[in-house]
Every structure is written in structure tokens, then in C-alpha cells.
Amino acid sequence: MKYSTDGRYIATGGNTSNDGNVYMYDSQTGALVHTFFRDSIDYYQIWGLDFAKNWIAFSKDSINGSYPYIHIIDINNFNLIKKVKGSDFKFSKNGKFLLCVSKGPQINIYNTDTWELLYTNGIDGCYFSLAISPDGSAFAVGMDYDGSYCNNPARIEIYKGTNWQDRSTIVAQKKFSTFYDLRFSNDGKYLAAASYNDSIRVYNVEDNSLYKSYLFYQSPVVAFSNDDKYLVTYNDVDIKIGIWDFQSCSSVYIYPKGGTQRSIDISPDNNNIAVVRCPSGIIVYNAQWNPSSVLENLIQISQSIIYPNPINGNANIEFLLLKPFQLSVQIFNSASDPLITIFSGFMESGNKSFIWNTAGLPSGMYFCRVSASGAASTIQVLIQH
């Protein structure tokens, strides 16, 4: 799940294991803008997703053993710009470089202006995560413990210098760690590493020294705020999202209700934190960097959830309305056509719950949109009769 570079859109892959589509939404209204349908039944779920320039890019996992391609598409006219062989990938923040993993496995870097292959090198071990610095001058690869055949400990390999030839290694504090997520700070000076069985650690890119450590265990995802003042993490123990002061390592805010998170991104204007919560879809939170001065009018709806999902019969729609507002709860089909209005009217603030009877609707993908005062939360749901 990612915001576009200008913050207008937010995109995610399908939230079920056999949904190989990519959904792009208006980040302000929650309306579905476009669905990028999977081009073959052989590709059943999204491997990687990112934005750069005026492009959206995604790769899809295959069930027949063929290696996936990265599809790079213009978000203005939805024309295909380029297809590159690769699975996981990341664009540099300046949009000039594409870092990807291809068959081998190989690490490749492309110039996105000319699509010239600038760098290629084999990976020695069990690759797990990727990151590239904002200006593309450095990249990092998270390597899982691979004792099954070569007894290498978990580690991070950092490549920098001229043509990325300067390679160094950071060995995990715990041998059996897995680096689920790596993120460079926006100034490129630091690298944050999220490990499921260790604390969040931040390293100085210049000399690989440990810069900070956050006692937030079992956190598979991490992100820097766009001003590099805060870290956003997710704890898989108490299932909550936390904001931490980057320099002091102190807790700033813990969101009271979480859910299993698989991805975190922060809007370019730094106002919102978006997460993918399984199986509910995208949830957008007001970014509470400073709880005493929260801009409460940005997002009026939070903690939305629909269960069960997939649905066969009745579904429960639950959410928190932060202020009293005119509210609407609507169901749309996959073409964004409105089908059902479950509720429309004024409601007081608080936790809300509705029952949606799906009888009469054919099996397929639908969207539930809860909107109030210009803010909206849209959740993708699957009906299976």
C-alpha cells in the first residue's frame, strides 16, 4: 500500500490471497479511481507496489513458477510505460532509480529516464526486504537467517559509493531475526530496520553504527515521518500502531485500536498515516505527531472494519465517528456504481455498528464507503455465496 508522490491517490493490492488486482483510490474521498485487473489467472496476488513520477508500479506473484514482471503504468491515462522482470522493488524518492530483485536472485538498478541497467549483482543468501535511499545513492537488502544450507545469520547488506560498489554488512543482534521492513530516513542518513523478534533498530548509513534502538518488539513494519522527527511502527503483540520521537526514542502516541497490519505509509503532506489492516482494507488515521495540537477535522472516521470478510450472508460494519456529522454508509460495485445506501442521516459521535444483508447480490468484489463531512473510509469486501 502506497501514497502517490503528490498524495492524490492511495493504492493497495487485493486483500485476499487470490485477488491479483490493484486498486487505486482518491486519498481524500476514498472513491475508487481505477482497478488494475490481473492480466492472467496465473498471477494471484500482489508482490510489490510503489509510485514514482506520474507512475504506479506493481508486480504480481505467479502460481505456475514463472517469474513476475513489474508493470509501470501512467496514472493519468493508464498506459503501460514499461515492463521489467522483477518481484519485490522500490523506487528512489526522487524517482530516478528503480531497485528490484529478479530471478537468480539478482539485485538490479535501472535509470528510470532511459531504462538503462546501471547495476546488477547476485544475492548470497535468503533475501527478505529492500530499501533505497531517497537520492538513490545507497540501497539495503535484508537477509534472513539461512542456516538450512549455509548457516549465515540474519543481516543487512548496505551498498553505497561509486556505482554502489562499497558493500558492508550489519549482522543482526539475534541470529534468528528476520528483517521484515527496511526504511531510509528522508535525508538518507539513517536506516531503520523492523525485525519480528527484536526491537526496532536505526543505523547510521555512513559507518553502519547503531544510532537508536526502540523497545517495540515484533514489529514487521516501520516508517519515518516526512520531516524525520518521528517513527511509526506496528506491534504484533498488542496489535497497535505507535508513534515515537526519533531522537528521544520516547512514545508520542499509541493508537487505541489496531488490527493486523501489513503495510504503513505516510501522506506526503505528513497529515495522515495509512495502514493496510487484514482483512478490512485501507485505514487512514489522523497523524498525531503532537496529540495536544491534533488537526481533528482532517479525518472524521477511523478504525473501520467489516467482518466476516469474505461475506456469505450478513456482515457487520463498524467504525468510530470522531465528531457528530451527517453520515452516509453506501455499497458500491467494482465499477464504482452505487448499489445500496445502508444509512444516510445525522449521527452523534462514538462507535457505530450496522448490519448489511448481502442476500440478492451476486458473488464478487464490492466496496463499502463510510463518509462524513468530506472524509471517507472505503473498505474492499468479497461476497462468496
What averages of pLDDT result for each successive group of 10 residues across the chain (385 residues)?
A: 93 66 83 74 70 93 69 94 92 97 88 96 82 97 66 83 92 70 95 81 92 73 92 74 85 67 85 72 75 39 67 85 82 84 89 89 86 70 84
Helix (H) or strand (E) holding 201: strand 200-204
Q: Which of 53, 155, 56, 50 is nearest to 100 (CA)?
A: 50
Per the CB < 8 A criterion, the answer to whether 50 and 89 are in contact is: yes
348 phi and psi angles, rounded to 5 deg: -75, 165
Q: Where are the domains of the chain?
A: 2-293, 307-383
Could you give the CA distance from residue 57 to residue 225 in angstroms, rounded to a whole number? 23
pLDDT given at position 89: 95
pLDDT given at position 39: 57
Cell of 127: 533475501
Write the single-letter amino acid at 209: S
Each residue of 85-114: b (16+ CB within 10 Å) or e? ebbbbbbbbebebbbbbbeebebbbbebee
Per CATH, which fold does 2-293 belong to? Answer: Methylamine Dehydrogenase; Chain H (2.130.10)
354: Cβ–Cβ under 8 A, 6 or more apart, which residues? 316, 317, 318, 329, 342, 343
186 phi and psi angles, rounded to 5 deg: -70, -20
SS3 call for 332: strand
Domain 307-383 sits in CATH at 2.60.40.2550
